[in-house]
Structure 1
Amino acid sequence: MIEPITYQMINATGELVAFCDQARTQGWIALDTEFVRTRTLYAELGLVQAKAGDSLILIDPLNGVDLAPLWALLRDPHVLTVVHAGGEDLEILHQKQGTPATLFDTQIAYAFLTDGSQIGYAGLVEQMLQVTVDKSQSRTDWLQRPLTQAQLTYAAADVAYLSEIYPRLRSQAVAEGKEALIMAECAEQIERRGRELPAALAWRDIGGLSLLDGPGRAVLKALAEWRLKTAREKNVALPFIAKDHILVEIARTQPSSRYALSTIDDLHPMALRRYADAILDCVERGLAMSVDEQPEPIPRYDQDGDYKRYFKAAKAALKEIGESQGIPVSLLGSRKQLNDVYVWERFLRPSTRAGLPAPDLYSGWRGTLVRDALKRLIQTSQKT
């Protein structure tokens, strides 16, 4: 049974340095963050929780403590960072220059050690420790001060239980011969969460591209690039500048005046006041693009017979490979990952590929297992 949770609130940089020194001797640290992201592009850090050995600390990033020693600790290749479902934590750490050198994600480990299930933190704690996690503070505004005792205890519990779960999962992974695979997947998560999409290729993340002709795609390209650059510069979430479907509608109708722009459904009056000139400039620049500059057409999958043949065969191939390797097929490749391969091979120009990372199923441990098979399937799926 786990003892009652005790923690130290770090109020000075010297205290943090002492904790980091202890963590280095331990060799691993359990970590979690609390943050707020409502209207901002980047999450706003509200609290950091960490446990190494018998020391559990909470760090308030708003009270002036210099977190540089912690970020340096996480970057130390001799220190393992333990998280649960740490995707958003990794994004925050990347922003803060604290990207972990090595990572063990207990959600990833659990998935590889079971049937691929993506278990939540509370469920994992209850299953492995027979402890019911208090969820009453899950909607806390972590930027509001002062934080209550209940909020701090809730936050401390995240790493207290995590530090108990990690050794058990790591031991099971070693016993079942899956440690290397789990660590490889965690390393890939670090790399993916640290990527920054080139703004010039932001059009690829917007649905509705298949509805547009060449000039429309060019306008969408200009709009998507402008929106992402603006979001990064002002730290504003993309939908609060303009939602995807609004960009698609602008690209389709190609308004040339403020009045025409004002007739676009769902374009907020405030956005119109702030961004009308920039949007109209995007329309003009998009229409001036040459054919070679226009994004390549990517049809809808349900209208592509070759895709249907590829996808059916690819699912079967992944199932066979997964069973032969003892890997749940859900972890080997998702529908989106299979789609990314198809688009990469069939539609993307070399110039577009040059600005993008290779598809997940072409890189890392997945690429080793399935890349050649998928390439063959795409070739054979084409109509003769």
Structure 2
Amino acid sequence: MTDATNDKFDWAAPAFQAGLRKRKRNELWLKTLGLGAISIAFAMLLLLVGSLISTGYHAFTQTHLEIAVHFDPELIDADAPERGNYRQILSDTMHKEFSDVADDRDELRKLTKILSNRAQFTVRDRAVANPGVIGQTVKINVPVSDPYDQLNKGLINPETPEENRRLKDDEIANFNKLVDAGFVTKPLNWALLTNADSRFPEVAGLKGAIIGSAYALLVCFLLSFPVGIGAAIYLEEFAPKNRISDLIEININNLAAVPSVVFGLLGLAVFIGWFGMPRSVPFVGGMTLALMTLPTIIIATRAALKAVPPSIREAALGVGASKQQVVFGHVLPLAMPGILTGTIIGLAQALGETAPLLLIGMNAFITSAPSTPFDSATALPTQIFIWADSPERGFVSRTSAAILVLLTFLITMNAIAIYLRHKFERKW
């Protein structure tokens, strides 16, 4: 017995060396599995981001045509420029560039299809903004239609058999003439951020969705932040510790794990069904997201309050401060960095939610940005859903670009949360 026991603690004993080798192998396997898991996760992340960038970068540029437009006074009402026949003006402009098709209406119609259907409104807006251009010839950049935009970006291969592509040989030849003449440009597509949604991919943008998300998050913050902090302070500092408070705490923790679609059903039933509020408005969307964010804020606030050392409370009480003065004058300011961090993370989670907003109708086709939280609007997640479901080829790249924009907002919000945590965090 004594010899066997001594062998276990003898570094040179074979049994001890065998056990040591086994432990090192197990440790090596654990490290290998951990590094493998991290490598797989990192590779999946790179694959996701890489696929989004490779598909979405096309949407950050847009093909334009720089043409000399003659604002024919016979086709424009000088007293009301918005009533002009700008479609005919663009048709006449294309006719001048291709004078050899003067007697062929079908060919002329094909030429006008090079321009986006929204190009006439670009010309109209120029005349409305500056009526002095009526009667003059002015160079204007107008977007081309989606098939020609795809062609210019290399997404349509001219070598593909003619029957298998959207543009025929003569249409490609006409566009190449404009390219050779130097009329075609491909600037940054600021319209992706400054335009609202459209049925035409070349002019569709995220302005309405961004503003709709901003309004929804504002409503969500104004409702969930004070209510969440108030509930957390009461439960942590003032509520008696009994079965009722334990039941409330359990339910709050359970609500934080409830799928978001359940909150969407609750918002649909209560806000729209019972209260009769309108669908597709950011105000209702923000109220629904507030229901989902409340448990997260309450849990984060209680954790921040618990992190404040008891000595702070005892010292304040020792100098004669009341319970209320202790909480609001000493504990809450010290816990505020953690509270803000949890709140921002909760809002970032709300920004990326789609299911609740779909259930309350924030996936409608809205062609203008909302002016107030009570105007119909979409949000970034639902706009991505709409574009992903669209059959037009141009919306494929715009869907990926919209996801990149959403990820940018999410990363920014999380970066702000990390900054606040490191900036104001105190170590006791």
The alignment's TM-score, normalised by the length of structure 1, stands at: 0.25
In terms of Rg, which structure is larger?
Answer: 2
Quick check: which one's helix share is greater?
Answer: 2
Taking CA–CA contacts closer than 8 Å with sequence separation of 6 or more, which of the two structures ends up with the larger relative contact order?
2
